[in-house]
Structures are given as structure tokens and as C-alpha cells.
């Protein structure tokens, strides 16, 4: 289990690097090639590619994006992470031109590990709060 925690920590450090290449390389190293990704992501792509696309889109929209882990619960082959995400929209995101607005929203992710790699991900992201803060939907 501690190796799962170390893998989770490595993934988390990569996504907070702001470096798309490091994130993609880390995904290749810590995510199973047959990753099952339960989230509203591009379904035409296999799991690791979909995860890379998600981070490319996030980094384009929010170059300063930061995921702060508030709670981590590890049990068996799963790790649950409750996060606060912050960033400033400096690029196009979900069809919105750059607004310069800051966002702070919450998310919860469950990671299932197999063979030392992330094999399955479930995610719940507070997109409504994010879109309200960007002015895309009324408050």
C-alpha cells in the first residue's frame, strides 16, 4: 500500500509542476495502459491519452493551476483524495476566451491501483462553481 501512496504522491507532484511534458511522462510511468477513467473526458481516447488531454486543456486554460490535497484516505487498493483546485484563466477553456479570473473549486477523486499503477479513476469535480467563477453561468 505504501507504494500506492508513493505513486499517488508522484502523480500529484507532476500535475502541480505546470510542466505538460513532465505530466505526460509521469502519466506514462504511473498509469496503466488500460486505465478506466470515469469522468466526463474525451471518450474516443484510451485512458492514459484522455488523462493527458485533460491536463493539456487545464494547463492551456490555467497555466498556474494548483491542486491542493486536503484529505487522503488509503484503503486496500484505493486512494481517495479530496482537493481544492485554484488557478487563473489565462487561456481558452471550454470555449471561453481568457477572462483573467481566478477560480477555486473542489474535487474528489478515487484511484484504484493494480500492479503498482493507477488502473481506474473516478472523479467528481465542482464544475458549476468553476464555471460561475469564470462568468460562464449566472451566480
Q: What is the pLDDT of residues 26-39, one digit of tens each?
A: 999 999 999 999 87
Domain 2-133 - what CATH class? alpha beta
Question: Within 10 A of 26 (CB to CB), how many other CB atoms are there?
Answer: 20
Q: Where are the chain's structural domains?
A: 2-133
Residues 6 or more apart whose Cβ sits within 8 Å of residue 41: 50, 51, 53, 54
Tell me the per-residue pLDDT of 115-139, one tens digit each, with 9 for 90 and over: 999 999 999 999 999 999 999 998 8
pTM of the entire structure? Answer: 0.92
Amino acid at each position: 500500500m505504501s507504494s500506492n501512496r508513493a505513486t499517488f504522491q508522484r502523480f500529484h507532484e507532476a500535475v502541480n509542476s505546470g510542466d505538460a511534458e513532465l505530466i505526460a511522462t509521469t502519466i506514462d510511468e504511473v498509469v496503466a495502459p488500460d486505465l478506466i477513467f470515469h469522468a466526463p473526458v474525451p471518450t474516443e481516447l484510451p485512458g492514459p491519452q484522455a488523462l493527458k488531454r485533460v491536463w493539456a486543456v487545464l494547463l492551456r486554460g490555467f497555466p498556474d493551476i494548483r491542486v491542493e490535497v486536503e484529505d487522503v484516505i488509503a484503503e486496500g487498493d484505493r486512494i481517495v483524495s479530496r482537493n481544492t483546485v485554484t488557478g487563473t484563466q489565462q487561456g481558452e477553456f471550454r470555449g471561453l476566451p481568457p477572462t483573467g479570473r481566478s477560480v477555486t473549486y473542489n474535487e474528489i477523486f478515487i484511484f484504484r491501483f493494480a500492479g503498482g499503477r493507477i488502473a481506474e479513476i473516478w472523479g467528481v469535480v465542482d464544475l458549476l462553481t468553476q464555471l460561475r467563477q469564470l462568468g460562464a453561468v449566472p451566480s
